[in-house]
Amino acid sequence: FMVDKGNHRHFMEKEIYEQPEIISHALSHYIDFASHTVKANDTAIDFGGVSGLAISACGTAYLSGLVGKYWFERYARLPVEIDVASEFRYRELPLSPSQAALFISQSGETADTLASLRYCKDQGLKIGAVVNVRESTIARESDAIFPILAGPEIGVASTKAFTCQLAVLAALSIGAGRARGTVTAGDEKAMVKHLAEMPRIMSRVLNDIQPQIEALSRDLSRFKDVLYLGRGTSFPLALEGALKLKEISYIHAEGYAAGELKHGPIALIDENMPVIVIAPHDRFFEKTVSNMQEVAARGGRIIFITDEKGAAASKLPTMATITLPNVDEIIAPMIFSLPIQLLAYHTAVFMGTDVDQPRNLAKSVTVE
């Protein structure tokens, strides 16, 4: 069927702005808004009984899986093995049937992800698919299907599929924690309440930060290299921010774990390479600020993406500070995805690239 851009310039912009509504719909599949509990979904995988999880995916889907790893380990105390599918499938990773495997794919057709799935199936693991296309090959070959319900995504650079994948993984990790006794009924209620509030916060953020990001994108488009830093779940977001920016604006961007700054990228810091730091005021905040100090001391320009508490707590000079509302850590990755999507989008628009169809990239890669 036909999908149109409505009154947006690009599908990517439309898909960014659709997120509040679509996530709310996706969440209703996984959480009960009345009782504030995670619904018992596809029960083909017993998260309560498994000894560990293997996760594999490509591109942006891999990065949502990387956020998922932090959640499953922290909330459900489940060890997670994760790798990009093109490595995973050839690693000869020893696995046991007591583990389960999750494959994350918007299209459900990515060749390397499918090959990783078949590898795990051969090892006797139960297979779960976190997919947008429920009729896809990956979904068909799985024991359990966890749909992300994002609707058709046309822009090659994934946006709403990423945040919907995160929402589903958040719900699954809370449910797994519940089943494993590591998340109490009270914790579950509190976390689910935060998830339920998320769509409204997303709408507000999209509306509030747009003018500032558009202006900042004009400045950013002058640079050839950008470094993105983050810690904890903000580390995969730094990778995703860099991926998004390079995919559509063709500015060279790298994402790094903030703590690795001094092990390499610090050698590149000067006024010609802006450093975008993603740092909500969480338990890693002080550590990340000390990495920012290292950047500032070397004349680096900082774009600081933080929340109100974080903005108040840091006195470092920045090229720009994007201040989001204070939110609970369970929803921070979804909320902090919005500025990195908009920054990539507006920078690309400003540079005049083909935003929805960036050169050399395909929406779905069905060859190895």
Total number of residues binding ligand G6P (CB under 6 A)? 16
Q: Which two tokens stand for residue 321?
A: 């500070």
- 3-state DSSP call for residue 243? helix
d(CA 367, CA 115): 11
DSSP per-residue letters across 311-329: HHH-----SEEEEEPP--T
Tell me the one-letter amino acid at 140. R
Asked if 245 and 344 touch (Cβ cutoff 8 Å), the reply is: yes
Concerning whether 39 is annotated as a catalytic residue, the answer is no
Name the residue nearer to ligand G6P (CB basis): 15 or 282.
15
**Is 364 a binder of ligand G6P (CB under 6 A)?**
yes
Query: Taking the complex as a whole, how short is the minimal distance between the CB of residue 85 and ligand G6P, in angstroms?
Result: 8
How many CB atoms are located within 10 Å of the residue 365 CB? Answer: 16
| The one among 98, 184, 361, 366 contacting ligand G6P by CB under 6 A | 361
Based on its alpha-carbon atoms, the radius of gyration of the chain, rounded to whole angstroms, reads 20
| The one among 19, 56, 105, 318 contacting ligand G6P by CB under 6 A | 105
Candidates 20-28, 54-62, 174-182, 331-339; binding stretch for ligand G6P (CB under 6 A): 54-62
- 3-state DSSP call for residue 80? strand
**For residue 367, how many C-alpha atoms fall within 13 Å in the half-sphere facing its CB?**
2
Candidates 94-102, 183-191, 312-320, 359-367; binding stretch for ligand G6P (CB under 6 A): 359-367
Q: How far is CA 229 from the centre of its chain?
A: 14
**Is 365 a binder of ligand G6P (CB under 6 A)?**
yes
Name the residue nearer to ligand G6P (CB basis): 240 or 307.
240
**Is 5 a binder of ligand G6P (CB under 6 A)?**
no
User: Which residues between 58 and 97 bind ligand G6P (CB under 6 A)?
Assistant: 58-61
Candidates 5-13, 52-60, 251-259, 302-310; binding stretch for ligand G6P (CB under 6 A): 52-60
Candidates 102-110, 248-256, 269-277, 291-299; binding stretch for ligand G6P (CB under 6 A): 102-110
- Nearest to residue 153, comparing CAs of 353, 3, 1? 3
Tell me the one-letter amino acid at 171. A
Residues lying near ligand G6P in the complex (CB under 6 A): 58-61, 105-107, 110, 113, 156-158, 361, 363-365
Name the residues annotated as catalytic.
Answer: 363
